[in-house]
Amino acid sequence: MEFSIKQGSPEKLKSGCVVVGVFDGGKLSKAAQVLDKAAKHALSDLIARGDMKGKSASTLLLHKLAGVAAERVLLVGLGKVSELNNKTSLEILNATFKALNATQAKDAALYILDEGVGKDGGWVVKQAVFSASGQAFRADGMKSKPSKPAALKSITFATLDKPAAALKVALDQAAATASGMELTKTLANLPGNICTPTYLAARALALGKAHKSIKTTVLDEKAMQKLGMGSLLSVTRGSEQPAKLITLEYSGTAKTQKPIVLVGKGITFDTGGISLKPGADMDEMKYDMSGAASVLGTLQAIAEMGLKINVVGVIPTCENMPSGKATKPGDIVTSMSGQTIEILNTDAEGRLILCDALTYSKKFNPDTVIDIATLTGACVIALGHVASGMFANEDKLARELLAAGEQSHDRVWQLPLWEDYQPLLDSNFADMANIGGRAGGTITAACFLARFTKDYRWAHLDIAGTANVSGKEKGATGRPVPLLTQYLINRTATK
Ligand code: BES
Ligand code: MN
Ligand code: ZN
């Protein structure tokens, strides 16, 4: 999908559809007033008849208005000015693209920036791009008859006055972020029989091929053995598919700048292993590589932006399967850090692959390390599907992630990493157990990871509730690519 910003008068713009707002009670927005005049008061007439009341997120499609160059006019209700906030703005944007997608218009010009639909122009542009590309996304590529691609191919954010230069920057960032989200969704939606660790490695290598600024390397099990990754390798023991450790190094600025390392959980299917999961909805455990997919999507986004920052993606990836060779409850393994782990539940496997990847990450001399993982069902219970769980061993980093979440509308909520939780991981036989019991399951999982991240600034994102939706709308969301890219953009700006 193409996006652009353009100044122009709404009646003159040649396009498949021109979109203008109507406030509650039928008050025309500035652009709508210009159109109304050009169309001999066709808009005020239909409002007087009561066909459009300006109710928030309502829409009315008109064809071939005399005096208007565009083929169609879409009126969009903006509601009461006093009630315009992030939530209502998003509803308005989603309704707008839903109405546009119900037509065959190939392009559209949206006059929404002059009207304060949302906090600021940059925010509106970003969310509009996410909404438009989200609706254009198709997840049915593996059906024998996939649905038709969206007709709408090009969107212009039109303004009456000269648009601020910052809008163009926001637009380019949004478009790159949206294409990163698309990659993340595509990969996460793939079934486990296609999206194996080897497949993920191939996609990471392809990303390195497509972008000069990205260098990809892939370690096999032998190399991981040499590095002493006994914890990661214990998870893959039951699988026929070989595990991989993928590294993507994005160089956007001088080598002297320490990188931000993103570590993504890449369990391409989580059966639970010998601690087998119940059958219901187990298919959704194909999404257990969503952290990995978000790292690939974020790297693609920042490479497309040419962001002046250094970022390393680290992806530990394998399957968690039961078999005669699989790791058993009670088995004790030695992690790359030297710490030993008693595996009391083979279904708590995410932390086992992450801990070795986190120890490995030290070699990049990181400025900050952020891991992203569909780590605990308990996080879904705690925060639902709205916010991702967030932990950090530094308050400033936590605040930066909270802020980036608000800015991108890909929100996180902080949970505590207090020492008081650490004894829950005590083991009689090893340095620690891999589970801490039912109480505070999201926190004890983070506390486990904290034992491997003492040497650098670190945050952990638990995306179990936000990476995908279940039910009729089952599918990947592309989160937290908007959050991560926004955080990286912000880190570039403060340098
Ligand atoms: N991948 C799951 C977590 C998960 C659950 C993600 C539901 C998305 C939806 C993880 O590997 C897991 O199985 N965690 C266990 C941990 C427990 C054994 C301590 C869980 O949450 O039940
Ligand atoms: Mn599991
Ligand atoms: Zn898992």
**Any atom of ligand 1 within 6 Å of the Cβ of 288:** yes
pLDDT at 349 over 70: yes
Do residues 461 and 292 touch, judged by C-beta distance below 8 A?
A: no
> How far is Cα 392 from Cα 390, in angstroms, rounded to an integer?
7
Judge if the beta carbon of residue 299 lies within 6 A of ligand 1. Answer: no
Peptide bond into 10 cis (omega under 30): no
**Contact criterion met (CB below 8 Å) for 243 and 197:** yes
Model confidence band, residue 493 (pLDDT cutoffs 50, 70, 90): confident
Q: Is the distance from the beta carbon of residue 350 to the nearest atom of ligand 1 less than 6 Å?
A: yes
pLDDT at 120 (0 to 100): 86
- The pLDDT-based confidence of 463 (bands split at 50, 70, 90) is very high
Q: Where residue 447 falls among pLDDT bands split at 50, 70, 90?
A: very high
Q: What is the DSSP letter of 298?
A: H
The per-residue pLDDT for range 213-260, each reduced to its tens digit, is 999 999 999 999 999 999 999 999 999 999 999 999 999 999 999 999
Q: Which of 268, 418, 463, 411 is nearest to 349 (CA)?
A: 268
DSSP 318-358: EEE--STTS--TTEEEE-TTS-EEEES-TT--HHHHHHHHH
Query: Ligand 1: distance of its center to the CA of 486 in Å?
Result: 27
Per-residue confidence (pLDDT) for residue 113, from 0 to 100 = 83
Ligand nearest to C-alpha 266: 3
275-302 average pLDDT score: 99
CA of 344 to the centre of ligand 1 (A): 14
Q: In the chain, count of helices (H) and strands (E)? A: 14, 21
Residue 115 has what pLDDT? 73
Q: Which residues pair with 248 in a beta bridge?
A: 216, 313
Q: What percent of the chain has pLDDT over 90?
A: 97
What residues flank ion ligand 2 with Cβ within 5 A? 270, 347, 349
Mean pLDDT of 93-114: 96
Does the annotation count 237 as an active-site position?
Answer: no
Q: What is the pLDDT of residues 391-439, one digit of tens each?
A: 999 999 999 999 999 999 999 999 999 999 999 999 999 999 999 999 9
pLDDT above 80 (res 118): no
Q: What proportion of the chain, given as a percentage, has pLDDT over 70?
A: 99
Query: What pLDDT score does 494 carry?
Result: 65
Q: What would the two tokens of residue 73 be?
A: 């006019």
Q: Could you tell me the domains of the chain?
A: 2-159 (3.40.220.10), 175-494 (3.40.630.10)
CB 124 within 8 A of CB 117: yes
pLDDT at 3: 98
Residue 219, CB-side half-sphere exposure with 13 Å CA sphere: 21
Residue 64 bears catalytic tag: no
> Catalytic pick from 185, 351, 411, 479?
351
pLDDT at residue 473 greater than cutoff 70? yes
- pLDDT tens digits for range 4-48: 999 999 999 999 999 999 999 999 999 999 999 999 999 999 999
> 334 is written with which tokens?
């030695």
Whether ligand 1 lies within 6 angstroms of the CB of 462 is answered as: no
328 Cα to the center of ligand 2, angstroms? 14
374 CA from centroid of ligand 3 (Å): 6
What mean pLDDT is predicted for residues 90-119? 91
Q: How far is the C-alpha of 103 from the C-alpha of 150, rounded, in Å?
A: 10
pLDDT tens by residue, 166-217: 999 999 999 999 999 999 999 999 999 999 999 999 999 999 999 999 999 9
